[in-house]
Amino acid sequence: MRRLKRRSDGTDDRGALGVLIAILLGFGVLLGMGAIVIDVGFLYQERAELQNGADAGALAVARGCATGASTCLVNKANYYASHNAKDGVSTVDKVCGFDGSGVLSSCPAATGKITDCPAKPSSSTKYVDVHTSTQTAGGETLLPPSFARTLAGNSSYEGSRVLACARAAWGSPKTATTIALTISWCEWSTATSGGTVYGPTPPTTPPLSVHRVLKLHTTSGTGCPSGPSGADGPGEFGWVDEADDDCSVLINNNTYSSDTGTSAGKDCKAALAASWSSHTPVWLPVYTKVSGTGTGGTYTLSGFAGFVITGYWVPGASQKDWLTNKNECTGSDKCIAGYFIQGLIPSTGTIGGPDLGARIVQLTG
């Protein structure tokens, strides 16, 4: 009676479940579900790996291009594409774009497929597209299926070729986080001959011909023979109101405020010393106009410039020039010596500012 009662309770449904599984298998439902869940999952994983490789490759090529045509190396895309694949292998089908020097080949028109990069940007935009696709460790270009081939009428299915594309652009920033020290457009233009003379990026030792001494404190506007009137600030030393206690400032609009006085704060002295000893460039906001004086001084931003500090002489802090082995600042002058470079500014921002040597790289597609 207990056995009959147990069966009538419906708690022992193993037989019914077995019949249901047999029916589902007979009609191929479970196989179809397996093909969807497993094979499609593999396709999504492959696409993610290819996209990561394309993103990393595009950023790597763009960073090289942004620092000069000689370092615009397209084979960087192959390295990063393969190292982002689980099996260590991916195919880079195409590296193309516009770098301004003809190193990159022109990209073809978009086909409208979901795996395409966006349509070509404006003719002045510098960018690189990296197209990646499936490659197995055995050299095949199709991602083999696990279950889909076993479905009725699908025995000839050999797999799918997965594609991805990424675009990275580079250019001069409109916004950036910099050291809380500014110089005039006149100083930058004079030191770089209008943006045509730069020193090499560290650790390469520069020639003395690019070495400059910037005098930061002026008692009157000196005029700007190669630029707009008023681009030198009377009474302005060059310190900028800090955002934090690390001698940094985020400039995200066209104006920023001056910080009066000739002495650098403790944090700015530490920043100068760190840059001087490590030969790491600082990134300077360059102003094209200044209005007001003292605490009411307001700078109008022109752009951002990279500068390697080789020596400095400010009240309460100084270091002998490691390039010339001299003290170039005399009398009551307050100076910073070094040389301007072209390079990537370690800051996020928006592309679109004047090119004063600083560049940023962004994924744009």
Q: What is the mean pLDDT of residues 251-255?
A: 83
Residue 24 has pLDDT above 50, yes or no: no
**E strand spans, the chain:** 91-98, 126-133, 163-171, 176-179, 183-184, 212-215, 248-251, 255-257, 282-291, 298-314, 317-319, 335-341, 343-344, 358-363
Residue 211 has pLDDT above 90, yes or no: yes
- Position 21 scores a pLDDT of 47
Angle, alpha carbons 321-322-323 (nearest 5°): 90
Residue 155 has pLDDT above 90, yes or no: no
- Position 16 scores a pLDDT of 56
pTM of the entire structure? 0.78
Q: What is the mean pLDDT of residues 307-325?
A: 93
- Position 255 scores a pLDDT of 85
In whole angstroms, give the CA distance from residue 107 to residue 104.
9
Mean pLDDT of the chain, nearest integer = 80
**246 band by pLDDT with thresholds 50, 70 and 90:** confident
- Position 75 scores a pLDDT of 86
- Position 6 scores a pLDDT of 44
Q: What is the mean pLDDT of residues 287-299?
A: 75
In whole angstroms, give the CA distance from residue 145 to residue 239.
64
- Position 8 scores a pLDDT of 46
- Position 90 scores a pLDDT of 84
- Position 294 scores a pLDDT of 60
By CB atoms closer than 10 A (0-12, 13-18, 19+), residue 70 is exposed
Residue 225 has pLDDT above 70, yes or no: no
**197 band by pLDDT with thresholds 50, 70 and 90:** very high
Alpha carbons within 13 A on the beta-carbon side of 233: 31
**Residue-wise pLDDT tens digits, 45-71:** 888 989 999 999 999 999 989 887 667
**265 band by pLDDT with thresholds 50, 70 and 90:** confident
**Residue-wise pLDDT tens digits, 100-127:** 888 899 998 877 777 788 888 888 899 9
Residue 5 has pLDDT above 70, yes or no: no
**86 band by pLDDT with thresholds 50, 70 and 90:** confident
Enter the DSSP assignment of 107.
P
Which of 94-103, 128-137, 234-243 shows the lowest mean pLDDT across its residues?
A: 234-243
- Position 220 scores a pLDDT of 45
- Position 282 scores a pLDDT of 95
How far, rounded to the nearest angstrom, does the alpha carbon of residue 42 sit from its chain's CA centroid? 30
Q: What percent of the chain has pLDDT over 90?
A: 33
In whole angstroms, give the CA distance from residue 167 to residue 58.
6
Neighbours of 121 (CB within 10 A): 15
